[in-house]
Structure 1
Amino acid sequence: MNEKRTTQPVLKVLVVEDSMDLQVLLRAMLNEIPSVEVVASVDNQAAAVQALKACCADLAIVDLELATGTGLGFLKELSEQLDTDQHVKVVIFSNYSNLIIRHRCLNLGAKAFFDKSFQIDELLEFVQAEASGKAKSLTL
């Protein structure tokens, strides 16, 4: 009997990353965080939008460079196509971290931006904080 998953609220995460190796690594690291479940991982913009509609993720971790499409395109599509009732937080996890790109992502609705080259720990801390916050809000 898996009581952990049935008694504890779970933060559902969608990983949008074109590198299969990084997808596998992120899934493993994220699934180690209590109350976090990676519900899907995809490598392109169209699949990301479809997966988000299908799995009702709470958080999407998105790379800017995808197999087809872009993370910026995903952010734009998210604001245009998904129901306004669906409150998905998006964080960007990319090597393209110049100030202009960061501001553009935040202006399109991203909640945070993490540089792949040195901020994986910060990304994981952010996800853990989101999972903890979600758990607190659902148990009130």
Structure 2
Amino acid sequence: MSYPESTIPVHLQAYIVEDNPTIRENLIGTLEELTCVKVTGTSATEDEALLWLEKNTQGWDLLILDLFLKQGSGIHLAQCIAERKPNQKVVVFSNYVNASIRKRCAQLGVDAVFDKSTEIDSLVDYCSYQCFRVAQSHVQAA
């Protein structure tokens, strides 16, 4: 099927690891309303996330991680998924962001780190840019 450039359907499949249900639901609503992100799943624990990721190695484009979970940690998850496709992006979205956390995340190959309390707009901008990047690759391939 061929689409005119402006109507190419582009979606980023996202998986969110966040243990606070209110934050999780608000994040899903914000990203799905303002960007091309479609959330394919969520979990509140490291074990749930690892199980899903093992079964869905190709089923995501964007992984959004909180650092502190009901069980486990986002840092450990980032370590566990070091092997991924180049177009699969890992983002940390946490209340506990400082220079040390940013450095550790960079060492683990995390693509971006955002502070929940001050950088939600930056996360939305990042996701919008990823949508644009994917749309451009579809246009070039067409």
Shorter-chain TM-score: what band? Answer: 0.7 to 0.9
1: CA distance between counterparts of 2:88 and 2:49?
12
Q: Scaled by the length of structure 1, what TM-score is found?
A: 0.86
1: CA distance between counterparts of 2:138 and 2:62?
16
Aligned to 2:100: 100
2: CA distance between counterparts of 1:117 and 1:107?
23
Q: Scaled by the length of structure 2, what TM-score is found?
A: 0.85
Matches within 5 A, 1:61-140: 61-79=64-82, 84-85=84-85, 87-140=87-140
Shift of 1:49: 2.2
Aligned to 1:17: 18
2: CA distance between counterparts of 1:65 and 1:32?
26
Assess if the C-alpha contact under 8 Å between 1:31 and 1:38 holds in 2.
Answer: yes
2:62 to 56, 59, 67: 59
Point out where structure 1 has 5 or more consecutive residues left out of the alignment.
1-5
2: CA distance between counterparts of 1:44 and 1:50?
10
Shift of 1:41: 1.3
Shift of 1:51: 2.4
Shift of 1:138: 1.9
Runs of 4+ in 1 over 3 A off after TM superposition: 84-87
Percent identity for Structure 1 against Structure 2: 34
Assess if the C-alpha contact under 8 Å between 1:36 and 1:131 holds in 2.
Answer: yes
The 1:86–1:126 alpha-carbon spacing in structure 2 relative to 1, beyond 3 Å, is closer
Aligned to 2:30: 29
Point out where structure 2 has 5 or more consecutive residues left out of the alignment.
1-6
Aligned to 1:3: none
What's the Cα RMSD here?
A: 2.0
